Amino acid sequence: MQLTGSEIVVECLKEQGVDTVFGYPGGTILNIYDALYKHSDEITHILTSHEQGAAHAADGYARSTGKVGVCMATSGPGATNLVTGIATAYMDSIPIVAITANVAKSGLGKDSFQEIDIVGATMPFTKHNFIVKEIEDLADTIRRAFTIAKSGRPGPVLVDITKDVTANKTEYTKQTPKAIEPYTDTIKEEDVDKVVELIKESNKPFIIAGGGLVASGAQDEFRKFADIIDTPVCDTLMGKGAIEGTNARYTGMIGMHGTKASNFGVTRCDLLIVIGARFSDRVVGNPNSFAPDAKIIHIDIDPTEINKNVKTDASIIGDANEILKRLNTKLEKQNHKEWMDEVGELKNKYPLALDKTTLNGPSIIDALYEITNGDAIVTTDVGQHQMWAAQFYKYKETRQLITSGGLGTMGYGVGACIGAKMANKDRICVNIAGDGCFRMNMNEIATATRYNIPIIQIVINNHVLGMVRQWQTLFYGKRYSNTVLDDQVDFVKISEGMGAKAYKCTTIDEFKNALKESIELNIPCVIDCQIDSDDKVFPMVPANTSISEAFSEEDLAAKGYDC
């Protein structure tokens, strides 16, 4: 049948099972929005307050489900406002498709009104991108975009469509998407056998669980694998939930703000198995002193990650779930009781500091965990609150922590929380932000109230840019250059002005009561938690130093340092 380009866009979204789109209309994309209007009973469109919020919402939808998230924007500033969200998804390997419209083909290259080369602009941080100038190419391009976004190592794909293509007509035939098969061709039997032998020879193995385990849906096989080889497990920020936060094997996060048990344990191990992680600088610290006594096994779907940051002794390239299935069938049950006891002693000796009597970052996250029974989907912005959310909420499963890891995007959280809630209407969805981050995206509270999307926003408000101030305290002689937010902004009044229920808390009991009421009300709520400006995240590893140098506040006090 003959359809316009705009109708083809909508039909292709329906082919892919898309039920929700996040975006903001404008001149060049109006035809597509007109087609969406006619299909509003099949595809829900969420009008965000800013295009960046739309990109983050699509990202949150994707992270919480494993499906492809979709966002839309018009040409020029609409498209460029998506850039930060696209880059955020790229750094964390998140499958989103961003659809933009550009000026007509005849206007390209002429500095037409709101013309921008968004394909050129996003080329360095998309998995692939397209510009569609002929309507005959449109349907296949959109289908390819979805396939690319979710196959192999996932990532964002941008499709830019000239306005004339959205108006022209061509023949459209519906297609059923082919199933995306896991990458197995690269899994070599000799690589698997080598890994099996290294595991059998090891007396002190340790596992780092990364985001690739989440992307591949390998939670069950991974937990079985850890039990078979009888090993402690730590995770990266992106690997949260691969193993339960309450599991006896779990030692906490590794890296700059990882636990001492994880950092010291990895330093002492004789075999380090890294699955679906890329040895980022925040995990490794100084690569020359990382896991100095260990042979290193790297399992990853992307061959370019092997030996990129850390030299490995063995590797397997392919889908983590498929690889773990093969390893689990070849391995016999191991027994490393002495090593597990040694690491257990580290956990007992170096617990995370938690004061439950006052209102502080850790106590807020701990109370959130207790009140939600560990079942909430938690989104965060970036900074101290993000690290506390990683440290103190005990995630039961993958896709529970939704956070910007690689790019570290302030302003990510509210949009991502809206996206997660739209995909998980029966789950409690909570965004945790610092006051600095909340300033960057609090306009999306208006989006939540417009559609009555019942998210809970917790602002950990210390009236400073907390993580930057922490660095200034420890490494810059307490010179607080432009990190003090000592203005008259009242988040309660602002939130109420956008239609949300809002609370201000100064004690932990006030917070608990506000959180319980927010859950019961099931409407958009904002909880402004006033904490001390000098609260810090510990442990900490200085940049580019060995993770074995992790220090706590007590370590600094013992050296006479007042922080």
- Are the beta carbons of 59 and 419 closer than 8 angstroms? yes
Distances (CA, A) of 310 to 140, 168, 274, 292: 39, 52, 11, 11
Q: What single-letter DSSP state applies at residue 303?
A: G
Beta bridge partners of 378: 401, 430
pLDDT of residue 437: 97
Nearest by Cα to 100 from 44, 11, 15, 26: 26
pLDDT at 558 (0 to 100): 87
Active site residue 530: no
* Identity of the amino acid at 33: Y
- pLDDT at site 557: 86
pLDDT in tens, 517-554: 999 999 999 999 999 999 999 999 998 999 999 999 99
CB contact set of 211 (below 8 Å; sequence gap of 6+):
92, 93, 236, 238, 239, 276, 277, 405
Q: Is 345 a catalytic residue?
A: no
- Spatial distance between the Cα atoms of 519 and 49, rounded to a whole number of angstroms: 24
What's the CATH architecture for 189-349?
A: 3-Layer(aba) Sandwich (3.40)
Active site residue 279: no
Give 336's contacts (C-beta < 8 A, 6+ positions apart). Answer: 202, 203, 204, 205, 229, 230, 231
Residue ranges of the chain with per-residue pLDDT less than 50? none
186/355 Cα distance (integer angstroms): 49
Q: How many residues does the chain have?
A: 563
DSSP code, position 138: H
Can you give the pLDDT at residue 344?
Answer: 98
Residue located via tokens 């010291």: 264
Cis upstream peptide for 77 (omega within 30°): no
pLDDT score, position 324? 98
Instruction: Round to whole Å and give the CA distance between 166 and 497.
Output: 38
Judge: domain 361-537, CATH 3.40.50.970: yes
**pLDDT at res. 478:** 95
Q: Do domains 2-171 and 361-537 have the same CATH topology?
A: yes
Select from 398, 399, 380 the least CA-distant residue to 390. 380
Q: Which residues pair with 486 in a beta bridge?
A: none
Q: How do residues 159-211 score in pLDDT, each as one tens digit?
A: 999 999 999 999 999 999 999 999 899 999 999 999 999 999 999 999 999 99
Distance CA 141, CA 161 (A): 10
Distance CA 101, CA 153 (A): 26
Q: Write out the DSSP string of 482-499.
A: T-B--S---HHHHHHHTT
Catalytic residue (choose from 7, 11, 22, 51)? 51
Task: Delimit the domains of the chain by residue range.
Answer: 2-171, 189-349, 361-537
pLDDT at 536: 97
**Catalytic residue at 520?**
no
Q: Exactly one of 38, 113, 493, 496 is catalytic; which is it? A: 113
Q: Which of 105, 114, 308, 340 is catalytic?
A: 114
Q: Which of 253, 256, 422, 467 is catalytic?
A: 467
- Residue 252 burial (10 A CB sphere; 0-12, 13-18, 19+): buried
Please say whether the beta carbons of 7 and 172 come within 8 A. Answer: yes
Residues 415 and 54: beta-carbon distance below 8 Å = yes
pLDDT, one tens digit per residue, over 271-322 is 999 999 999 999 999 999 999 999 999 999 999 999 999 999 999 999 999 9
* DSSP, residue by residue, 57-79: HHHHHHHHHSSPEEEEE-STHHH
Q: Kindly report the CATH number that applies to the domain delimited by 2-171.
A: 3.40.50.970
Q: Coil, helix or strand for 552?
A: coil
Tell me whether residue 123 is one of the annotated catalytic residues.
Answer: no
Please tell me the predicted confidence (pLDDT) of residue 562: 77
Q: Which of 67, 127, 150, 163 is catalytic?
A: 163
Q: Where are the beta strands (DSSP E) in 263-304?
A: 271-275, 295-300
Report the run of H or E that residue 130 belongs to, with start and end. strand 128-132
